[in-house]
Amino acid sequence: MTAELVRGQNHPLPDTRLEIRVSSGAPVAVAATLFDAAGAVAGAGRVVHPGAPSLPGVEVSRQAAAEHRLAVDLGAVAADVHRVAVLLALPADPGGPGRFGALAAPFVAVAVPGGAAVATYTLTGLDTESAVVALELYRRQGAWKVRAVGQGYAGGLAALFRDQGVPGAAGLAAAVQDAVAPAPAPTAPSAPAPTAPPPPVGAPAPSGGPVDYTHPRRRTATPPPPPPSAPPAPPGTPATPVAGDAAGWSMEERLYNQVWGMFEDLARTTAAYRSAVDFAESRMERELEGVLSDPRSRIGTAGDAARAEARARCRELTDRAREALDRDLAQLTAESDVVEPALPPAFARWDHPVWHAYRAPTEAPMALRLGDLHLRERPELRIPMLVRLPLERGLWVDSGRRGSEQALLMDEARLRRLALDTAVAHTARLLAVHPPGDFTVHVIDPAGSGAAAFAPLTASGVLAGPPAAGPGGVATVLAQLTRRVDLVQMAVRGGAGTEVLPPDLDTAGQLLVVHDFPHGFDDRAVTQLRYLADEGPAVGVHLMMVADREDAAAYGPVLDPLWRSLLRVTPVPDDHLADPWVGHAWTYEPPRIPQDSQVLQQVLASVAEARRTWRR
Amino acid sequence: MSINLTKGQAISLQKSDGGTLSAVRMGLGWQAAPRRGLFGSRTREIDLDASAVLFAGKQPVDVVFFRHLVSDDGSVRHTGDNLVGGAGQGGDDEAVLVDLQRVPVHIDQIVFTVNSFTGQTFQEVQNAFCRLVDETNGQELARYTLDGGGQYTAQIMAKVHRTGGGWTMTAIGASANGRTFQDLMPAILPHL
């Protein structure tokens, strides 16, 4: 039985050997302060922190990480220790989030080592604080108890230590920040404490071993910490939304599921509203017709009264439907307001601060944001359009004017440029969210007409090579990718590993961006392209067409299956996407990079830099 | 306190403390009657299907059944098709969850029906019941036990409908014939 603590609540602990699990939306440093019976801290030596990670009975990780497991043995702590405060602090990284309010609510669980959680606590309501006392473990009449504290400090660790009465608070805070400053990227599991039990079965195998038995999407076999859930709301009012309030094995998966939950809720609540309005209107029409066909209503004012009543009934029902819709939309908007700031780069808009603090990831994300979706009832409530990675189908950035109303209004040259810019933004995002070396991008630009738009990619040197030009270039790239698909398919079907593949073969995921199709394509090249579209996604070769279908009209219907196999996205807002539950037409909005923002160039520069260091 | 309903009996879903129920579950359970005679131990599987039809002013607006498990507005959810029924141990074999707070404003009645998809009549069914459970605390509010079998293949079990500001459940218990809810529409209309 796990107790979900609220702030201030305490809970008895069954054992002195405990594991404290911390999960947060961004790397945090974890520390612990040991108090004596009088509530005083004897000295900086009584603080366990990344710079001095071990004291008898308590051990913390040497680095900042999004997930921590601390081993605590309260039986081994010094006899005069009566209270242990567990602290979380955000690294003082100028690119980091800097405040807990920008993240999903941190979650801590006190558990029996390797077993179920005894008590959990979600630290909600943090805002500008950058350090927080999460929990206290304290002695009470010979037994240990845990209390949820949740006291945050906008002044950071220094203010926190000062408040705790730690001598030399500022120096200690600086020491902690120094210890976590280099921030080694991988969140390596902390070394087990002497008193700690062996790591749970199924923990990630040590890297470098010959065989990795871990499932690529299931990182650990131990039960995930429960998601942060909204604190119970007073009756009659909806719960305050919390980012990450959904099922999942990691914060990323929880946020992904939460976004999809919001997507479904918005689809369904809008369906309820539309259905009610349709019903109200059809009922009014029926009633008005009834009045018209009733001979009694033709004389006197009875007819007018009946008509007025029918209209009033319609209005009354529509108003009530609107009220219900507004109530639901207010709740979803509040949820969106906490979820958007907590999103990781792959799910975040380009104007999100995480993109300014971009660092090459060590793991590919589970999904990618392709843009935003909204319905006409509340255009400002936008749901991130997340697609799973690796992509199951290619993308088609439609540069044709006939595809959508907004595109029709636009000048053709501008639309084509916009389509290219959109494709470059999608490509940059794909490159940035994959670990260096895991994703290779090829560009086909037969006539070189997209050179200006492709400049951010070419200038930063993140492409596999310069954009392929002319029929020769097209043929070379297509032949190379076709060979890769063929060989990997054979290896997969034969059940052999990647070791049977020729050494020159790039096993990274591949993206082929095709501009100006079918310029420069002969029949053989078109056939190869179709082969890549059909067979590529299963073996990690993806296609992104930036094309106007009309340009390839000469091929007739034989290319229809190609277009259909691609996920069509537009460079301008367009309502061509349907949700899987009700089938509303959602307006898709392509990703927008803020005007005059250098975020794309900066991110691509970091990607290029990460690749250079990775190759070395 | 659970109330055993009789045909036509209605109970208000207003809570005794004045609050209204927010979510209810209509559970359905049944058991195939054992056959007598040679090979009598062989019970034949019976597939009963629970459906919920949402009405606005006597017009069917949406239906939740095994092919459409969630109403478009998300307020009514079917937990999934059970093809064989339970051992009749009292648990629900199929259930329909209704989030009363989220039912669209124009929906004023939700009718629950049971059809024998495999065509056996209710003579071959025993221990069939439907019950209404307060989903927030798992308490049973009302139970309606189907009368012993008859030569029919469907039952219009009960309805929940708006009364004033809250909801009321009425046991209907009318027999009818049909394989899916579509066949029942003419039989449902008189009960609205």
What mean pLDDT value characterizes chain A?
85
Note whether A280 contacts B72, CB cutoff 8 Å: no
Distance from the Cα of A236 to chain B's closest Cα (Å) equals 10
By the CB < 8 Å criterion, does B74 face chain A?
A: yes
- Report the C-alpha gap between A589 and A374 in whole angstroms: 8
Interface of B with A in 129-188 (CB under 8 A): none
- Enumerate the residues of chain B whose CB falls inside 8 A of the CB of residue A320: 105
Regarding predicted confidence, which is higher, B41 or B155? B155
Maximum alpha-carbon separation in chain A? 98
- Report the C-alpha gap between A75 and A83 in whole angstroms: 13
pLDDT digits (tens, 9 = 90+) for A276-285: 999 999 999 9
- Enumerate the residues of chain A whose CB falls inside 8 A of the CB of residue B57: 279, 283
pLDDT given for residue A13 in this prediction: 85
Helical ranges in A383-518 per DSSP H: 405-408, 412-433, 451-460, 470-493
- Enumerate the residues of chain B whose CB falls inside 8 A of the CB of residue A317: 105-106
pLDDT given for residue A276 in this prediction: 94
Note whether A275 contacts B102, CB cutoff 8 Å: no
| DSSP string of A524-591, one letter each residue | HHHHHHHHHHHHTGGGTEEEEEEE-GGGGGGGGGGGHHHHHHSEEE-SS-EEEEE-SSS--EEEEE--
- Enumerate the residues of chain A whose CB falls inside 8 A of the CB of residue B102: 269, 272, 328
- Enumerate the residues of chain A whose CB falls inside 8 A of the CB of residue B73: 268-269, 271-272, 275
Note whether B75 contacts A273, CB cutoff 8 Å: no
pLDDT given for residue B90 in this prediction: 59
Res. A184: pLDDT tops 80: no
pLDDT given for residue A382 in this prediction: 95
Note whether A268 contacts B72, CB cutoff 8 Å: yes
Judged by DSSP in three states, A103 sits in: coil
- Average pLDDT, stretch A23-38? 86
- CB-CB contact of B60 with B53 (8 Å): yes
Least confident of A131-135, A421-425, A455-459, B9-13: B9-13
Res. A186: pLDDT tops 70: no
- Enumerate the residues of chain A whose CB falls inside 8 A of the CB of residue B74: 264-265, 268-269, 271-272, 581
Note whether B72 contacts A235, CB cutoff 8 Å: no
By the CB < 8 Å criterion, does A383 face chain B?
A: no
- Enumerate the residues of chain A whose CB falls inside 8 A of the CB of residue B59: 279
Distance from the Cα of A2 to chain B's closest Cα (Å) equals 19
pLDDT given for residue A230 in this prediction: 55
Res. A90: pLDDT tops 70: yes
Regarding predicted confidence, which is higher, A194 or A598? A598
Interface test with chain A among B20, B106, B137, by most A beta carbons within 10 Å: B106
Least confident of A178-182, A252-256, A534-538: A178-182
- Enumerate the residues of chain A whose CB falls inside 8 A of the CB of residue B99: none
pLDDT digits (tens, 9 = 90+) for A502-532: 877 888 899 999 998 988 899 999 999 999 9
Collect all residues with Cβ–Cβ distance below 8 Å to A612 and sequence separation of at least 6: none
Regarding predicted confidence, which is higher, A222 or A144? A144
Kindly state the helix (H) or strand (E) to which residue A509 belongs, with its residue range.
Answer: strand A509-515
| DSSP string of B71-128, one letter each residue | -TTSSEEE----SS---SSSS-SEEEEEEGGGS-TT--EEEEEEEETT---GGGEEEE
Size of interface A-B (CB pairs under 8 A): 53
- CB-CB contact of B48 with B94 (8 Å): yes
Question: Looking at the whole model, is its pTM more than 0.80?
Answer: no
Note whether A275 contacts B73, CB cutoff 8 Å: yes
Collect all residues with Cβ–Cβ distance below 8 Å to A30 and sequence separation of at least 6: A22, A50, A60, A61, A68, A70, A86, A87, A88, A89
Among the partner-chain residues B19, B61, B70, the one whose CB lies closest to the CB of A275 is: B61
- Average pLDDT, stretch A542-563? 92
Regarding predicted confidence, which is higher, A450 or A15? A450
Res. A213: pLDDT tops 70: no
pLDDT digits (tens, 9 = 90+) for A461-490: 899 889 999 889 999 999 999 999 999 988
Instruction: Tell me how crowded residue A474 is: count the other CB atoms within 10 A of its CB.
Output: 25
pLDDT digits (tens, 9 = 90+) for A388-413: 998 999 999 999 888 778 888 888 89
Residue A412 has, within 13 A of its CA and on its CB side, a CA count of 6
Res. A10: pLDDT tops 90: no
Regarding predicted confidence, which is higher, A6 or B16? A6
Note whether A321 contacts B70, CB cutoff 8 Å: no
* CATH number of the structural domain B3-34+44-191: 2.60.60.30
ipTM score here? 0.85
Among the partner-chain residues B57, B70, B106, the one whose CB lies closest to the CB of A275 is: B106
Q: Are strands A65-73 and A367-374 parallel, antiparallel or unpaired?
A: unpaired
By the CB < 8 Å criterion, does A567 face chain B?
A: no
